[in-house]
Amino acid sequence: MEARAQGRTKGGFIAGVVFFLLVIWGCYRTALDVKGWLTDANRLPMSELLLQGQHQYLQTEELRMAVLDGAELRNFFELDVNELQARLNALPWVAQVSVRKKWPNKIKIYLTEQDVAARWNGNRFVNTRGTVFSAPDRVKTPLLQLSGPDDQAARVLKESRQYESQLAAKGYKLLGVNLTPRHAWELTLDGNIKLFLGRNDIALRLQRFIDAFPVIEPRAQVAYVDLRYDTGMAVGWKKSEEKVHDQHRR
């Protein structure tokens, strides 16, 4: 009697273990089936792209390629939002981007472009925060030409705005600002007139130019005005076409 009872107990235990293993196996198979369903590109495909934010320099094709990354869009669960955001952030004209998935098939992308303020050192740009960046040149409107050491870009931008305002009040148009390696300021006005202002008392020297320039004749022939003096200034004249031609013939 006791032996039979022990046999039934042992048999029940084995049956319980087998049942438990079958349950585990069933759960595992179910998990695999669910994973396969969730990652099946034919199920819940990302089929709608919503692009928000104004942009005039970013091109549709480069945005599309950054989103697709050479492949078709994955389904809702496989799409890596962080990876997509990194690809979009790498585009030169992108300043900020945020990417979200919206159930069941939508990608929402909000982009802001670089807010370009001026050209920098001829082949790059500086944004309104004073950060230098490189990007394909798609700017159609004239921009202020700034130049100087890269680590001084924010300073050059800030000072150029003050000089531009001071000159514009008297009808002068500022075209460019250069900060030399010795931290001296050089301005270019409409008509390609150069102003050499030095390193100190810039606003006062600029005002001296504004006050004196109207009496300089002929103003159209002025090449530069050197204001690096405690008082007064030196004026350089443009070479006439005749002199230039004579020099070429010689």
Say if CB 147 and CB 155 are below 8 A apart. no
Q: Are 103 and 47 in contact (CB under 8 A)?
A: no
Q: To which CATH superfamily is domain 46-111 assigned?
A: membrane protein fhac (3.10.20.310)
More confident residue, 34 or 95: 95
Where is pLDDT greater, at 105 or 65? 65
Q: Indicate the range of 54-68, 83-97, 123-137, 218-232 predicted with least confidence.
A: 54-68
> Which uninterrupted H or E stretch holds 234?
strand 234-237
d(CA 156, CA 147): 8
Q: Check if 46-111 and 114-235 are the same fold.
A: no
**Over 70: is that where the pLDDT of 218 sits?**
yes
CA distance 131 to 64: 27
Q: Could you give the percent of the chain with pLDDT greater than 90?
A: 53
CA distance 222 to 97: 48
Report the pLDDT value the prediction gives residue 144, as an integer from 0 to 100.
98
Q: What is the pLDDT of residues 146-159, one digit of tens each?
A: 999 999 999 999 99
Euclidean distance between CA atoms 191 and 131, whole angstroms: 29
| Residues in CB range of 133: below 8 A, 6 or more apart | 92, 114, 124, 125, 126, 127
The most confident of the ranges 36-45, 166-175, 211-220 is 166-175
40 band by pLDDT with thresholds 50, 70 and 90: very low
- CATH fold label, 114-235: Rossmann fold (3.40.50)
| Cα atoms in the 13 Å half-sphere on the side-chain side of 132 | 18
Instruction: State yes or no: pLDDT of 5 exceeds 80.
Output: no
Question: What rounded mean pLDDT belongs to the chain?
Answer: 81
The arithmetic mean of pLDDT across residues 44-62, rounded, is: 78
Residue 135's CB: how many other CB atoms inside 10 A?
17
H or E element in which residue 63 lies:
helix 60-68
Residue 6 has pLDDT above 60, yes or no: no
Is 90 exceeded by the pLDDT of residue 126? Answer: yes
Domain spans of the chain?
A: 46-111, 114-235
| Phi, psi (degrees; rounded to nearest 5) at 144 | -60, 140
Q: pTM above 0.95?
A: no
In the three-class reduction of DSSP (H, G, I as helix; E, B as strand; rest coil), residue 149 is classed as: coil
- Mean pLDDT throughout 182-211? 96
Once rounded to an integer, what is the mean pLDDT over residues 60-72? Answer: 74
Predicted local distance difference test score (pLDDT) of residue 51: 83
Count of other CB atoms within 10 angstroms of residue 34: 10
Confidence bin at 14 (pLDDT 50/70/90) = low
Q: 123-137, 176-190, 205-219: lowest mean pLDDT where?
A: 205-219
